[in-house]
Amino acid sequence: MKVVIVGGVAGGATAAARIRRLDEQAEIVVFERSGYISYANCGLPYYIGGVIEDPEDLTLQTPESFFSRFRIHMKVHHEVTAIHPDRKTVSVKDLKTGEEFEESYDKLLLSPGAKPVWPGLPGMDSDKLFPLRTVEDTFRIKEFVDHNKPKSAVMVGGGFIGLEVAENLRELGMDVTIVQRPKQLMNPFDADMASFIHSEVRKHGVKLALGYSVEGFEEKDGGINVLLKNREAIYTDMVVLAIGVTPESSLAKDAGLALGLKGSILVNDRMETSVPDIYAVGDAVQVKHYVTGEAALIALAGPANKQGRIAADNICGGDSRYLGSQGSSVIKIFDMTAATTGINETNARNAGLHVDTVILSPMSHAGYYPGGKLMTMKVVFEKETYRLLGAQIVGYDGVDKRIDVLATAIHAGIKATDLKDLDLAYAPPYSSAKDPVNMAGFMIDNISKGLKQWHLSDAANLPRDGSVTLLDTRTVGEYSRGHIDGFQNIPVDELRERIGEIEPGKPVYVICQSGLRSYIATRILEGYGFEAFNFAGGFRFYDAVMNDRALIEAAFACGMDK
């Protein structure tokens, strides 16, 4: 059997090695148009920032090491220009010599990946404007930074790559601005959770221009102007463009393969395309979202690796199936860690799901053990069924551990109420006897048994006409340092003695700093016959989100974050 693979990196290289492990006699040829067959593309921003010092550390395998270990022919600087399914060949061009030839195959695997979105705006030909997708892109940016010593940079795009590049350029001492059309960074997160990310980015001196549309670029005085719609241009020394990627599917389209979302390659759960003996994996393919069951594009290394293994199994006569992508991801943002899995509240509602959320602020480990740090967790679940839909966590220590537990729970089909029953490891330096994931489960279990909540989205519409009671159960000192207008203050420890101050027969909307004391207060109030609602997230959450919204709107009105 002869297998030709188009593209290396996560999907193609993984598939090649797996095929060899399953079939020692197979002839395997990989064509890669770049000079690198298997590299750590997730590490590229950290090489620019000097965190990864040796560029060879980015290269996971070389053509020589692949051949030595697996006897696989890895042909770099070779571009496949056409697929001929009728005669089971591909046209190939040697980019160094210009030679063109055809290569036959019994099985063909496409792993072309995705290409950066490169909009047709004026000034895109500037040598001060950089994409970041490949090792070659990275070396070009690194060379520019080392040679020109730029003092400022604009990052267009506020996703994973955008934030990682912004952090690394900022750590080099550069003045960095992130320009983003949506009014938040990191769209996998809900806007309220993104508020904490914004705060961390601002704390480290990165300016945010959120809600701004880029209309072009113009070189000026040795630098470059980023031209903005209805805004003053931003002058900078360099621009990195990371506004997203689009499937690299031109080969598949020209060969008549069926396409899906945004021109992606359509595959089934065996990673088979619409043409016999042609498989496809990675960022170029349409997948099923594991939570919603809907078609999706999810460009992440983990799914690409799994798909490569599954395609290899099936090429070698097996029957492996890809169950779908869940979108689990984590990112370092200066000192903070942010992570997500499943779908967020915004997308769940847009999909027509009837959802609720719990928001909590647990410590990373036992409070009495030194060094614990707060994290903010948002868990999304379906009402009535309590199906676990997604989670987002921002914090410092222990974020990755909890998101992986929640990702596993979603994959296993565990109900949100059953999170309380998970038997998770505990020792004071690592967790609490009630792990944050268990705490989320306790809260959702309470809701399933009748506990009522109110949310940030309800705050502006709470009546101030006396028809409801608005109650803040924090201490007098906490209340005096900031509170929501219209809320009276009765500390929770005084509530029983002062219950007569609350008018009977009216619903009571309760808030505290984190949600714990207000929860206790709602139980007390219910014991006295009141209908009580606990605020999801506490005043700490409310204050962070509202302050962030005010900063975004003020910056949008006057120019940008200063």
Q: Which residues are catalytic?
A: 42
Distances in whole angstroms, Cα of residue 537 to Cα of each of 180, 386, 455, 464, 531: 27, 19, 8, 21, 19
- Structural contact between residues 159 and 242, judged by C-beta atoms closer than 8 angstroms: yes
Burial of 524 (0-12, 13-18, 19+ CB in 10 A): middle
Q: Three-class SS string for 420-487? A: HHCCCCCCCCCCCCCCHHHHHHHHHHHHHCCCEEECHHHHHHCCCCCCCEEEECCCHHHHHCCCCCCC
Rounded Cα distance between 548 and 191, Å, is 10
421, two tokens = 């029953």
Pairing of strands 114-116, 223-228: unpaired
DSSP lists the bridge partners of residue 359 as 378
- Compute CA distances 108 → 78, 88, 273, whole Å: 16, 8, 10
* Sign of torsion over alpha carbons 507, 511, 514, 517: negative
In DSSP terms, which residues pair with 288 in a beta bridge? 295
What is the residue whose two structure tokens read 């090792």? 135
Torsion of CA 156, 157, 161, 167, to 10 degrees: 60
The 3-state DSSP class for residue 85 equals coil
Cβ-based burial of 404 (10 A; exposed 0-12, middle 13-18, buried ≥19): middle
Separation of first and last alpha carbons in the chain: 62
Q: Quick one: 318 exposed, middle or buried, by C-beta within 10 A (0-12, 13-18, 19+)? A: exposed
> What is the spatial distance between Cα 333 and Cα 167, in angstroms, rounded to a whole number?
7
